[in-house]
Structure 1
């Protein structure tokens, strides 16, 4: 069974890129230590059923899903009607 993991931060590949591609996602473990994972590794973990990632916005959780554009897989959040891009709105991971 997949473990549900909250994503609290991201790292972008190039801030001047109009698509603002995400390089890493990250968060905080239950013991207070930080974790970070590359997007390709996160995609594999989702596809293998190891992790379900989510973003908490305004008291509501939104799942992170795999999308595809021109044959390239990337991560985004499911539409929730609150913010157009919950994942890109997260702060930078340290």
Structure 2
């Protein structure tokens, strides 16, 4: 099993706090220091292959789960812990290459 820390996100319009606008890309860093940026479906597929993604909040890892919307779209969401500061939406914009 591998782990990736999600370090940034991209949304079509860049409005991270709009919870109704979907994340299109996730930037990440793995346990070996490798970095990358994957599309939503690529990251979902990676997590579904028994890997784990997380967001770092206050020095702790907050893991993500795959959730399916009512329209059938899969995406990542952090497990609820009552803290908005470690949510995926609080991450900065990923640079595009």
**Shared fold per TM-score greater than 0.5:** yes
Aligned to 1:65: 65
Report runs of 4+ in structure 1 exceeding 6 Å deviation: none
Aligned to 2:78: 77
- The two structures, once aligned, show a CA RMSD in angstroms of 2.1
Q: Which sections of structure 1, spanning at least 5 residues, go unmatched?
A: none
| Cα distance in 2 for residues equivalent to 1:12 and 1:61 | 23
Pairwise CA distance, 1:84: 7.3
Aligned residues: 91
Q: Which sections of structure 2, spanning at least 5 residues, go unmatched?
A: none
From the superposition, tell whether residues 25 and 43 of structure 1 become closer, same or farther in structure 2 (CA, over 3 Å). Answer: same
Aligned to 1:41: 42
Aligned to 1:6: 5
Pairwise CA distance, 1:85: 6.8
Q: TM-score, normalised by structure 2?
A: 0.79
Q: TM-score, normalised by structure 1?
A: 0.82
